[in-house]
Amino acid sequence: MKPFVIALDGPSAAGKGTLARRLAAHYGLAHLDTGSLYRAVGRRILREGHDPADATYAATVAQNLQPVDLQDPELRTEATSKASSIVAAIPAVRANLLAWQREFARHPPEGKHGAVLDGRDIGTVICPDADVKLFVTASLEARAGRRFRELQAAGANPIRRAVLEEMASRDRRDSERATAPLLPAPDAFVLDTSELDADTVFDRVVAFIDSKTRSRRA
Ligand code: DC
């Protein structure tokens, strides 16, 4: 049977990660955080002392990515975030990560009957035939505020203005790149979470998915 695939796209700190994990648990699906692949590429390049903008080197790292790279404790730092959005604009990096993501969607691990993939281009490029496409977004201010509080909770001493500016330049890199820019698929359910808490987002998305799958079964 064809696996049930949920494509979940949106900018950083829009609430995709939490939502993807909750959807996967609710529907018994596997979950792939595709941003962690780009983060792992960016982090390994920094660790090896190379420039993330070096397309040839970045493409080789993407091709040889190892499961252990996804366990790096520095995957979520600001330096890795920046490096990941630089490598994500390199077409050969994206091409080298594409087959692996599609394979995950076609053959979800652990015998699961489907998968949730979250990222930027899941509904448009990786899984254009996904059963459900979601695009979760929020204003720059709301997202920067969330990231600021996350950093504070993690014991860092962030500067609010710097967090906002870094997020704005990451948005620009993700949205303006030529290959697979951040875009809602034409058939995506778009939800602005600026004023919504995580429970409300989850309830609205589940209601949408259930109504869509019900009408398909009818
Ligand atoms: O979702 P995230 O913040 O962990 O993603 C890290 C970077 O990877 C982000 O700058 C955009 C990029 N990315 C991408 O280009 N395509 C994806 N499917 C997922 C992430």
CATH number of domain containing 86: 3.40.50.300
Report if residue 207 sits inside a domain: no
- Report the domain count for the chain: 1
Which residues of the chain carry a pLDDT beneath 50? none
Residue 182 belongs to a domain: yes
In a domain, 43, yes or no: yes
Taking the centre of ligand 1 as the mean of its atom positions, its distance from the CA of residue 28, in whole angstroms, is 24
pLDDT at 217: 54
What pLDDT is attached to residue 213? 84
- Domain assignment of residue 209, yes or no: no
Q: Say how many Å lie between the CA of residue 85 and the centre of ligand 1.
A: 6
Residue 95, domain extent: 4-200
Nearest ligand 1 atom to alpha carbon 39: 6
User: Does the CB atom of residue 104 touch ligand 1 within 6 A?
Assistant: no
CA–centroid distance for 134 within its chain:
12
pLDDT at position 160 is: 93
Residue 217 domain-assigned?
no
> 147 CB less than 6 Å from ligand 1?
no
Give distance in angstroms: CA of 41 to centre of ligand 1.
11
pLDDT at 165: 94
**Is 205 inside any structural domain?**
no
